[in-house]
Amino acid sequence: MDDHLMESAPTMHQTLQNIIAACNRVILGKEPQIRLALACILARGHLLIEDLPGMGKTTLAHTLAQVLGLEFRRVQFTSDLLPADILGVSVYDRNAAAFKFHPGPVFTHVLLADEVNRATPKTQSALLEVMEERQMTMEGETRKLPEPFFVIATQNPTTHIGTFPLPESQLDRFLMRIRLGYPDARSERHLLAAQGGRAILPTAAAVTDAAGLIRLQAAVTEIRVADALLDYLQALLEASRRDPRLEMGLSPRAGLALKQAAQAWALMQGRDFAIPEDVQAVLPSVAGHRLINAEGGPADASVLLNSVAIP
């Protein structure tokens, strides 16, 4: 079925297609994850990538930044990383006879927080605070972060040694959590032949730039969400709180995240309105890390999908 191209900006759809195509050339065989990650960025959300080491988490983050034409910083989180190592530090400048602020790596468009769960809770919360505020206050002075700004955090499965699992309240600040998984045989072959992956990352050209991304993000908020769809969203939230299989339901923030992600997904489909399928496409990634099942373990968001009829 042909989608309904946006009359106002048919080029936006084209731009998005180009971004996806460019990423696909580097990250092989992971188009669904690329689409979700892009939707997350378009919805002005932060992204959590959770997988085993060596699955291409960092490459994905790096590729996205490069294709979107954004400034990119990477911080490797370790257990001795301090908040100042991310945020920056004021140092006394003898010449100016004053403290001078040396901005940390957080002052960028895309911050890749690699292995975020290896840092201490103190450092984690410093990062998560700026993620939410998109600005930082130090010594009475408030400094805005650049626009656009988003964090792509990667995380090892928490069962690994030397990790501080992110608490639920922190996980809620990530709009989406995705998993990459092993590549399929064909992609893996290409990867081994150095026809993809980090090897060809330098060749990936920027499709848009910061201003272009801001325009795209603005377009997302314009995507129409009809009353009927709000009913559906509400039914999903309601069900997540009432379902006896789930111990913890979705927060209102999660509801907003779900709506924004669905809008972004609709934009990527070239529609100026969102439909239930958009919600269904993003729900597992938006809700997966926020739900806790009755046994206290991670819950499968698809149980939610199947139990709520579309009004």
Interface contacts to another protein, rule CB under 8 A: 1-2, 4, 224, 226, 228-229, 243-245, 271-277, 280, 303, 305-311
Residue type, 300: D
What's the min distance (Å) between Cβ of 253 and another protein?
A: 24
Q: Which two tokens stand for residue 72?
A: 């990119």
Give the nearer residue to another protein in terms of CB position, either 212 or 298. 298
Query: 311: how many CB neighbours lie within 10 A of its CB?
Result: 12
Q: Minimum Å distance from CB 44 to another protein?
A: 22
Nearest-angstrom CA–CA distance, 152 and 60: 9
Q: Specify whether the CB–CB gap between 236 and 283 falls below 8 A.
A: yes
Output the smallest distance, CB 192 to another protein, in A. 36
Q: How far is CA 115 from the centre of its chain?
A: 15
Classify 272 as helix, strand or coil.
Answer: coil
In this complex, which beta carbon is closest to another protein, that of residue 4 or of residue 160? 4
Size of the chain in residues = 311
- The least CB distance from residue 222 to another protein, in Å, is 12
Q: How far is the CB of 225 from another protein (least distance, A)?
A: 8
Minimum CB–partner distance for residue 40 and another protein (Å): 21
Instruction: Kindly tell me which of 86 and 275 has the beta carbon lying closer to another protein.
Output: 275
Angle at 52 between CA 32 and CA 43, to 5 degrees: 40
The secondary structure of 74-104 as a DSSP string is: EEE--TT--HHHHHEEEEEETTTTEEEEEE-
- In the chain, the amino acid numbered 38 is L
Give whichever of 68 and 239 is closer to another protein, judged by the CB atom.
239
Comparison of 149 and 232: residue with beta carbon closer to another protein: 232
- Cβ proximity to another protein: between 141 and 277 the closer is 277
